[in-house]
Structure 1
Amino acid sequence: MVSLYDAGPFPPCPTPFNLTRHVLAAGRAHPQKQALLIVSADHTETWSFGALEAAVRGTATGFLRQGLTPGDVIVMRLGNTIDFPITYLAALAAGLVPVPTSAALTQSEAAFVIKTVSPKAVVAAPDIPCPDFAVTIDLETLQSFRSLPAAPYHLGDPERLGYIIFTSGTSGKPRAVAHAHRAIWARQMMFDGWYGLRPDDRLLHAGAFNWTYTLGTGLMDPWTLGATAVIPVAGTRPQELPALLARHDASIFAAAPGVYRQMLDRATPVPLPALRHGLSAGEKLPPALAERWVHATGRPVFEAYGMSECSTFISQCPADQNVAGTLGKPQKGRRIALLKNGEPVALGDEGTIAVARSDPGLMLGYLNAPQETAERMRGAWFLTGDQGVMNAQGHITYMGRDDDMMNAGGYRVSPIEVERVLADYPGITAVAVTEVRIKTDTTVIGAFYTGANALDADKLRAYVSQTLARYKQPRVFEHLPDLPMGANGKILRRVLRQRFERHHDRKDQD
């Protein structure tokens, strides 16, 4: 028996097709039903499905009246507000290609995005870093579009380019991931395979609007089924989430592992009678953290594994008897294998997690990067670069990344990207960055550098805060006499991680 899961293909995406039309179709039958609640301790902003679709299609009309035409790329520099999903869906409704970006990006990082995708327009809020651009739609103008007549949905080939998102790559440069309109169709495999989602659910996602995890799991997927999304306002602290879950009768809660940890550390326990379970993604959920959540709430938490190139495709779910410590199993409709030298390994052996290139949720490729795309698309498979072991039931145990990529608060971060920034700092002669464990269930980015003298850590933190998005910034800085190197001259980041964690563990024991 080999490490190959295939329970048959998912039904094909219909044609012609439009992503936004698909997302809002279920809500059209219940226009007065609550689609979205934006909540805080003392206020709730409510959007019905009817109001949401009117705002989306009116905004699509506004884009077209600006002279934009189907196929044009539009970069989104918006904050954690309703403007973000409205803009995203409106662009797709009109046949435009939105590029959602994190508000945490610095101006230079946003400039890199703009240079890479060559947009026809940028939509920008005044408080979000963004370089000057010839065609910029400001927030006031954007919001005025909502009252315009509804634009018709731009229907077409589900394989056509739909949207572009950025992910860090092993080269150190963020890569532009191009997705087709059909990607939203594939997300239906998560409804049973991860969420246990129902039309009567109220799903509270702890993330910001402008995080792709929130955009998909927190908004698009509930709306596709006609369920209600609940999103906390910007600045909500983790310890405030239990009260919001209780007050708004949330039946499903979604967050990154770090949010679960902070809730358990800081929040006062609150009865959650409406909650069925939690969802976790963005980085590996430590088993000890999952056990703490179950002990504190009496509710399970289901983990999922995925990436920007294919969203989540391996997951635990309410309907499956999950094996403790595993990622779960491939969702029905997926074809997943663990490969070595291009062939599935035997059950129980370690291999590279791979997704069939026929998967409807898989990216079209990296934008304008055929060589990088070809490196990951091998034969019939897309290689994730992550390692796993599959058992006879199809459950997959995660064994780590083979490319030294880091996960920081749910974002994939390239060490090379961070190293390039730190290498320019005066007094640093060499630097290596890796993810290090500082507690049983807590990891952060650590920077290890050489130079004549140890440098002021506070000044280093101030420097990276001006040059890197917060989730990319190291939390640990350590001066070393030299960096460990392999025989081929490559820095051994794994050795740095092991040394740091051994020393850290000894300090904790002393």
Structure 2
Amino acid sequence: MLSIFDQGPPPPCPRPFNLAAHVMRHAQTCVEKTALSVLGSTGATDWTYGDLRSAILRTGAGLLQSGLNPGDTVLMRLGNTVDFPIAYLGAIAVGLVPVPTSSQLTDTETGKIIDDLKPAAVLRDPNVTCAPHPRQIMLVELVRMRSLPPATFAMGDPERLAYVVYTSGTSGKPRAVAHAHRAIWARQMMVDGWYGLQSSDRLCHAGAFNWTYTLGTGLMDPWTIGATALIPEPGTDIRELPALLKQHRATIFAAAPGVFRKIMQEKVQLNLPDLRHGLCAGEKLSRHLHERWVHLTGTELYEAYGMSECSTFISSSPSHPARGEALGQPQPGRRVAIVGPGGPVAQGQEGTIAIHRNDPGLMLTYLNAPEEAEARMAGNWFLTGDQGAMSADGQITYLGRDDDMMNAGGYRVSPVEVEAALSAHTGITQVGAAAVDVKQDSSIIVAFYTGPEELDAATLQAYVSDKLARYKQPRAFVHLSALPTGGNGKLLRRALPAYFKATSE
């Protein structure tokens, strides 16, 4: 039998359709229900479904009144506040195309995005850095828009462009991933295939409002089914999260593995009486971390695998727990395969994890590199770049990357991008970057370089600080007499971590 999971397609996306309208579809029947609670140490700030829908549609009206037109792209440089999802959905509601970005990006990085996409405007919090742009709509203006008469949802073809997210490319140049309005419809496959989510749930996500993982799993998915989203206020210490989960009766908790790791550093039982289970994504969950969570909370932890190009599509769930070291299985409605050079391989054999080109959650293309998007297709299969094997029951085991991409706290980072930032330094002749395990379940990005002499680490850190977002910056620098290369002279990045271990012993 071939390694293909296919239990039939999901229901087709309705026509006409609007992503924001779908997210707010319960707002008119749940007007007074709490859609969002921003959790603080002294209490919570609540938004009802009625308040949220009103703010979204009024913001959309204001964006159009500002001179923007449907189809225009708007770059989002907003901070970790509720203003981010309101502006994001407000733009989509009226047919604009928002581009959410991490507030950690530097002027240099945002300048490249502006040159690449040429957005019609930048939605800007003055406290968030951004390269110059002639049309900046400041946060105070966005908030003021909420007093305007509301717009109506712009319904249309679900295949039309809805939003763009950036992801690290293997070439070192971030790719603009273009998603259609139908992407939110596809996320319904996660509700049972990963979350086990119900309208009565109170789902707490530990991430920032302006992280796409939070935006999807922590906000839009709960709202789509009429549940309540809980988000800790900016600056919340991770060690305070268990108390907040208990105080605000969270029933599901979602975070990246690093957050779970820090919570469990305190070697005590976690008393979370309302919690049904946890959700984990962003990087591979270790068996050790999983077992420790179960031991300390008495609840399960369900992992999901995905990517910017298709969100999550393989996961464990309350109805289908993972077996052994497996990630889980493809969500109902997905068509997933393990692909080799000749197509899907036999069950049990290693190959590249791939998803069918007709999956409603798959991106439209890379806006700045459509040829690269097509190059990732093998027939009807979109190749993820991750290796795996599928068992007879559809469970998939993750076997690593087939390239040198790194993971930093849930973000994929290209070593080429890190190397390019350092290579211009006058004291460096050659540089290579790699992720290095420094202790159990914890890794850092390390830069290895050659040059006439060893350079001061603090100087190198300062050098990259305005060139790379904080999560992309190396945490250590290692001077070598020569970098490891293959017979053709090409850098062997996978050999680099051993040099870190040798120098640190």
When normalised by structure 2's length, the TM-score is 0.98
After superposition, residues 89-128 of structure 1 pair within 5 angstroms as 89-128=89-128
Residue equivalent to 1:283: 283
Aligned-partner Cα distance in 1 for 2:331–2:497: 33
- Secondary structure of 1:189's counterpart equals helix
Counterparts of 1:87 and 1:469, CA distance in 2: 23
What is the alpha-carbon distance in structure 2 between the residues aligned to residue 269 and residue 467 of structure 1? 42
Map of 2:273 onto structure 1: 273
Structure 1 CA distance, aligned partners of 2:189 and 2:501? 38
The whole-number CA distance in structure 2 between the counterparts of 1:150 and 1:223 is 20
Q: Does 1:440 align with 2:408?
A: no
Q: Take 2:214 and 2:363, find their aligned partners in 1: how far apart are those partners?
A: 19
Shift of 1:356: 0.2
1:179 corresponds to = 179
Query: 2:484 aligned with 1:484, yes or no?
Result: yes
Sort the Cα spacing of 1:142 and 1:112 in 2 relative to 1 into closer, same or farther, 3 A.
Answer: same
Match of 1:373 in 2: 373
CA drift at 1:163: 0.2
Match of 2:417 in 1: 417
**Aligned-residue offset at 1:373:** 1.3
Q: Which amino acid aligns with 2:102?
A: S
* 1:48 corresponds to: 48
Match in the other structure for 2:63: 63
Give the residue type in structure 2 aligned to 1:111.
Answer: G
What SS does the aligned partner of 2:162 have?
strand
Check whether the contact 2:478–2:500 (CA below 8 A) recurs between aligned residues: no
Tell me, what secondary structure is at the counterpart of 1:27?
Answer: coil
Q: CA–CA distance in 2 between the matches of 1:287 and 1:147?
A: 50
Correspondence 1:228 to 2:228: yes
In the other structure, the counterpart of 1:397 is 397
User: In 2 relative to 1, CA 456–387 (structure 1 residues): closer, same or farther, beyond 3 Å?
Assistant: same
**What is the percentage of aligned positions where both structures have the same residue?**
59
Describe the SS at the equivalent of 2:25: helix
Distance across 2 between alignment mates of 1:503 and 1:474: 16
Instruction: Give the match's secondary structure for 1:192.
Output: helix
**1:43 positional shift:** 3.2
| Alpha-carbon shift at residue 147 of structure 1 (Å) | 1.6
Q: Which residue of 2 aligns with 1:319?
A: 319
SS in 2 for 1:35: strand
In the TM superposition, residue 464 of structure 1 has moved relative to its aligned partner by 2.0
Deviation at 1:499, TM superposition (A): 4.5
Can you give the 5+ residue segments of structure 2 that lack an aligned partner in the other structure?
A: none
Conserved? CA contact 2:18–2:93, under 8 Å: yes
Say yes or no: does 1:160 pair with 2:160. Answer: yes
Deviating more after overlay: 160-169 vs 129-138: 129-138
SS for the counterpart of 1:253 is strand
Instruction: Please report how far the alpha carbon of residue 498 of structure 1 lies from its aligned counterpart in structure 2 after TM superposition.
Output: 4.0
1:417 partner SS:
helix
| Residues 253 and 275, structure 1, Cα contact 8 Å, conserved in 2 | yes
Residue 317 of structure 2 aligns to a residue whose secondary structure is coil
**Contact 2:321-2:328 at 8 Å conserved across structures:** no
Asked whether the 8 Å contact 1:238–1:267 carries over to 2, the reply is no
* Equivalent residue number for residue 131 of structure 1: 131
Q: CA deviation at 1:233?
A: 1.1
- In the TM superposition, residue 501 of structure 1 has moved relative to its aligned partner by 4.6
Displacement of 1:68? 1.2
- TM-superposed CA distance for 1:426, in Å, is 2.7
Please report the TM-score for the alignment, with normalisation by the length of structure 1. 0.97
Kept in 1, the 8 Å contact 2:17–2:156? The answer is: yes
Aligned 8 A contact 1:78 1:123 in 2: yes
Q: Distance in 2 between matches of 1:407 and 1:284?
A: 9
> Deviation digits for residues 309-330 of structure 1, max 9, x if unmatched?
0000000111114212111010
Superposed CA deviations along residues 114-143 of structure 1, whole A, max 9, x for unmatched, are 111111111100100012211110111110
2: distance between equivalents of 1:260 and 1:137? Answer: 37
In the alignment, is the contact (CA less than 8 A) between 2:302 and 2:321 conserved in 1?
no
Whole-Å separation in 2 of the counterparts to 1:293 and 1:100: 32
Contact 1:316 1:327 in 2 (8 A): yes
**Count of residue pairs the alignment pairs up:** 505
Distance 1:267 1:200, change over 3 A: farther
- Mapped contact 2:108–2:466 kept (Cα < 8 A): no
Rounded to whole Å, the distance in 2 between the matches of 1:368 and 1:482 is 35
Distance 1:501 1:387, change over 3 A: farther
Matched, 1:245 2:226: no
Paired with 1:207 and 1:443, the residues of 2 have a C-alpha distance of: 19
Could you say which residue in structure 2 is the equivalent of 1:344? 344
SS in 1 for 2:496: helix
For structure 1, which segment, 220-229 or 468-477, has the greater mean C-alpha deviation from structure 2 after superposition? 468-477
SS in 2 for 1:265: coil
CA contact (8 A) 2:413 2:472 kept: yes
- The CA distance in 1 between the partners of 2:354 and 2:210, in whole Å, is 28
Contact 2:99–2:164 (CA under 8 A) maintained in structure 1? yes
Match in the other structure for 2:148: 148
CA RMSD for the aligned pairs?
1.2
| One-letter code aligned to 1:487 | G
Instruction: Give secondary structure in 2 for the equivalent of 1:179.
Output: strand
- The letter of the residue matching 1:353 is I
Query: Structure 2 counterpart of 1:192, which letter?
Result: D
